[in-house]
Amino acid sequence: MNLASPFSLSVVAITALALLGLPIGHSMIAGSILYLWLAGLDMGTSAEQLLNGLYTSYILLAVPMFILAAELMNAGTMTDRLLQFCNAVVGRFRGGLAQVNVLQSIIFAGMSGSAIADAAGTGKMMQQLMTKDGKYPASYAAALTAVTSVIGPIIPPSIPLVIYALISDASIGYLFIAGIVPGLLLALTQMIIVAIDARRKNFPVEKPVPLRELPGITLRAFPALMLPVVLLVGIRGGVMTPTEAAAVAAGYALLISVAIYRSVTPGQLYHALLNSARTTASIGMLIAGALVFNYVVTVENIPQSLSVILQSWDLSPMGFLILVNILLLILGCVLEGTTILLVIVPVLIPTAQALGVDMVHFGVMVVVNIMLGLVTPPYGLLLFIMTRIAEVPLRDLVHDVMPFLYAMIAALMLITFFPSLVLWLPRLLGYQG
Q: What is the mean pLDDT of residues 417-426?
A: 92
Backbone φ, ψ for residue 169 (5° rounding): 65, 20
Contact 251, 71 (CB under 8 A): no
For the ranges 148-152, 236-240, 257-261, which has the lowest average pLDDT? 236-240
Mean per-residue pLDDT of the chain? 80
3-state DSSP assignment of residue 205: strand
For the ranges 230-234, 272-276, 292-296, 397-401, which has the lowest average pLDDT? 230-234
Measured between alpha carbons, how far is residue 238 from residues 34, 394, 402 in Å? 45, 47, 42
How is residue 94 annotated by DSSP? B
pTM: 0.74
Cα atoms in the 13 Å half-sphere on the side-chain side of 193: 24
Report DSSP letters for 5-46, one per residue: SHHHHHHHHHHHHHHTT--HHHHHHHHHHHHHHHTT--THHH
Where do the domains of the chain lie? Answer: 58-281+301-429
Q: What is the mean pLDDT of residues 24-53?
A: 81
Whole-number Å distance between alpha carbons of 223 and 220 = 7
Q: Inform me whether the pLDDT recorded for 252 exceeds 60.
A: yes
Contact 56, 320 (CB under 8 A): no
Give the closest residue to 113 by CA, choosing from 276, 344, 292, 324: 276
Q: What is the dihedral of CA 167, 168, 172, 176, to 10 degrees?
A: -100
- Give the pLDDT band (50/70/90) at residue 91: low
Whole-number Å distance between alpha carbons of 192 and 199 = 11
> What does the pLDDT read at residue 182?
94
For the ranges 63-77, 91-105, 106-120, which has the lowest average pLDDT? 106-120
Which burial class, exposed, middle or buried, applies to 64 when counting CB atoms under 10 A from its CB (0-12, 13-18, 19+)?
buried
Which burial class, exposed, middle or buried, applies to 205 when counting CB atoms under 10 A from its CB (0-12, 13-18, 19+)?
middle
> What does the pLDDT read at residue 305?
72
Contact 349, 388 (CB under 8 A): no
What digits encode the pLDDT tens for the residues 339-388?
788 778 888 898 898 888 999 999 999 999 988 988 888 767 788 778 87
How is residue 72 annotated by DSSP? H
What digits encode the pLDDT tens for the residues 122-147?
666 677 777 776 778 889 988 998 89
Q: What is the mean pLDDT of residues 171-180?
A: 88
Type of residue found at 300: E
Q: What is the dihedral of CA 290, 72, 129, 91, to 10 degrees?
A: -110
> What does the pLDDT read at residue 57?
64
Contact 409, 147 (CB under 8 A): no
Q: What is the number of helices (H) and of strands (E) in the chain?
A: 24, 0
- Give the pLDDT band (50/70/90) at residue 334: low
What digits encode the pLDDT tens for the residues 42-86?
878 777 777 776 666 666 677 777 777 777 776 766 767 777 777
